[in-house]
């Protein structure tokens, strides 16, 4: 497994993969890998000749009051996991290698970036698209893998790839969950034991909503059901509960008639957790 700490090292590694005629997959991460990331890696391993994983805690996607300094890191363990998983190269740049003095250019998907989580975390998706665009330019993958857990991020990246003609195949990989249903996330380690137990309400509420959605309720009724269910857990502080068109993320009004996505952002203590579920009213073929 090649370790590339500079853009030049990374480009040299990819050139050698291309010289073999390899189809190259990229899994962008911020490290502190868990089973959710390893599922992306396994998918990439199965679908590509060469797999590159990037580990970069991207300062541009953290707000001034957010958890950049406390974001968990464990490079040694991450590298061991990636080596065991058969990854070909890891890109591990320092912040100064990715963002050089005098840089002025950002990449922003205008509307999709400003709604939902974009309203709660202004500038967040601009930071994500800027760094992902840079990673795409450095690694030049044929295919890239992202978790469906960050559903809005996935749609924002798909839009960017389409709008900027990247020609990269974007693969969304279903959310991995702990046995009690909590979606795996690097943030989970920051939950207290009580909040960790309480956070299982998210998956339980989503399961119930999925059942309820089959009967074609109004989006408003589904939202009320979800809010009430989440609030039945006193430690949960729902910051947003949204029901949106699964593709465009436009608000759904009236009865559910097409696949919709439920997007949750709920605080437990000072940790904001997100979760999502695509739901389909009965009679509608489920393509997700």
Q: Which residue pairs, CB below 8 angstroms and at least 24 apart, start in 202-205?
A: 202/230, 202/236, 202/264, 202/266, 202/273, 202/275, 203/177, 203/275, 204/229, 205/229, 205/230, 205/264
- Respond yes or no: is residue 37 known to be catalytic: yes
Select the span of 81-89, 128-136, 208-216, 231-239 touching ligand PAF (CB under 6 A). Answer: 128-136
- Candidate list 14, 48, 128, 198; residue touching ligand PAF; CB under 6 A: 128
Site string for ligand PAF, 226-265 (x = CB under 6 A): ----------------------------------------
Least spacing, CB of residue 128 vs ligand PAF, in Å: 5
Q: What residues numbered 259-278 form the site for ligand PAF, per CB under 6 A?
A: none
d(CA 263, CA 271): 17
Site string for ligand PAF, 8-47 (x = CB under 6 A): --------------------xxx-----------------
Is the CB of residue 152 less than 8 Å from the CB of residue 145? no
Is position 131 an interface residue for ligand PAF (rule: CB under 6 A)? yes
Sheet strands (E) in the chain: 2-4, 24-29, 50-55, 89-91, 143-147, 169-173, 236-245, 260-268, 271-279
- Residues 6 or more apart whose CB falls under 8 angstroms from that of 14 comprise 24, 52, 89, 139, 140
Is position 58 an interface residue for ligand PAF (rule: CB under 6 A)? yes
The single residue of 37, 124, 212, 288 carrying the catalytic annotation is 37
Q: Which is nearer to ligand PAF, 153 or 188 (CB)?
A: 153
d(CA 114, CA 285): 30
Q: Which is nearer to ligand PAF, 30 or 41 (CB)?
A: 30
Q: Rule CB under 6 A: which residues touch ligand PAF?
A: 28-30, 58, 61, 128, 131-132, 150, 153
* Catalytic positions: 37
């Amino acid at each position: 497994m090649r370790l590339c700490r500079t853009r030049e090292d990374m480009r040299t590694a990819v050139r050698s993969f291309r010289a073999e005629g390899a189809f190259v997959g990229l899994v962008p991460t911020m490290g502190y890998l868990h089973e959710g990331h390893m599922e992306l890696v396994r998918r990439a391993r199965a679908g590509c000749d060469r797999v590159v994983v990037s580990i970069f805690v991207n300062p541009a996607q953290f707000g001034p009051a957010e958890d950049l300094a406390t974001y968990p890191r464990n490079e040694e363990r991450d590298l061991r996991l990636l080596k065991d998983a058969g990854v070909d190269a890891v890109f591990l740049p320092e912040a100064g290698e990715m963002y050089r003095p005098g840089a002025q250019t950002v990449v922003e998907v205008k509307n999709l970036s400003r709604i939902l989580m974009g309203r709660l975390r202004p500038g967040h998706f601009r930071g994500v698209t800027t760094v992902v665009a840079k990673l795409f330019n450095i690694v030049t993958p044929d295919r890239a893998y992202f978790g469906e857990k960050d559903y809005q991020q996935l749609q924002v990246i798909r839009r960017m790839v389409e709008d900027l003609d990247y020609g990269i195949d974007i693969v969304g990989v279903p959310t991995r969950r702990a046995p009690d249903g909590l979606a795996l996330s690097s943030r989970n380690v920051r939950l207290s034991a009580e909040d960790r137990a309480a956070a299982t309400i998210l998956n339980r509420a989503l399961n119930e909503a999925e059942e309820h959605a089959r009967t074609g309720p109004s989006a408003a009724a589904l939202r009320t059901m979800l809010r009430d269910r989440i609030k039945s857990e006193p430690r949960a502080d729902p910051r947003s509960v949204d029901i949106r068109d699964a593709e465009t993320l436009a608000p759904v009004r009236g009865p559910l008639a097409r696949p919709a996505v439920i997007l949750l952002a709920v605080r437990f203590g000072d940790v904001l957790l997100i979760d999502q579920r695509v739901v389909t009213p009965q009679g509608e073929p489920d393509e997700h």
